[in-house]
């Protein structure tokens, strides 16, 4: 089964710096999505990039998708303390149903 799978890293950065995290997956996808989760709360959808797109921006977020390498990256520019959270990528299979395959998640801590 396909599985979005981030590099298992925890990032600790200073406010104002950029944060980059990566995600790899194994099978063909319809789209790839990024979600944020603050401690013990629900997930918030950040951005969706379709398989025919290579780059997408939303505010301070930049997502890239390389389908040949089956990988994606999420860049958060000019980080803020409020960006402290866990970030998950999730893939939707090309011929699948509603199922999203979530990656392991990256913990980002932004130090004020």
Output the 3-class SS for the chain.
Answer: CCCCEECCCEEEEECCCCEEEEEECCCCEEEEEEEEECCCCCEEEEEEEECCCCEEEECCEEEEEECCCCEEEEEECCCCHHHCEEEEEEEEECCCCCCEEECCCEEEEEEC
Fill in the per-residue mask, 36 to 75: x = in contact with other proteins (CB under 8 A), - = not in contact.
Answer: ----xxxxxx--x---------------------------
**Which window, 19-27, 54-62, 67-75, 98-106, contacts other proteins (CB under 8 A)?**
98-106
> Is residue 105 involved in binding other proteins (CB under 8 A)?
yes
Instruction: Give contact residues for other proteins (rule: CB under 8 A).
Output: 30-31, 33, 35, 40-45, 48, 88, 92-93, 96-100, 102-105, 107
């Amino acid at each position: 089964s396909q599985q979005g799978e981030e590099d298992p890293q925890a990032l600790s950065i200073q406010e104002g710096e950029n944060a980059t995290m990566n995600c790899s997956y194994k099978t063909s996808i319809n789209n790839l999505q990024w979600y944020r989760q603050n401690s013990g709360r629900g997930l918030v959808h950040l951005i969706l990039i379709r398989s025919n797109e290579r780059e997408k921006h939303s505010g301070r977020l930049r997502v890239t998708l390389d389908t040949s390498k089956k990988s994606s990256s999420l860049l958060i520019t000019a980080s803020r303390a409020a960006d402290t959270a866990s970030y998950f990528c999730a893939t939707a299979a090309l011929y699948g149903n509603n199922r999203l395959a979530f990656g392991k998640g990256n913990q980002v801590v932004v130090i004020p």
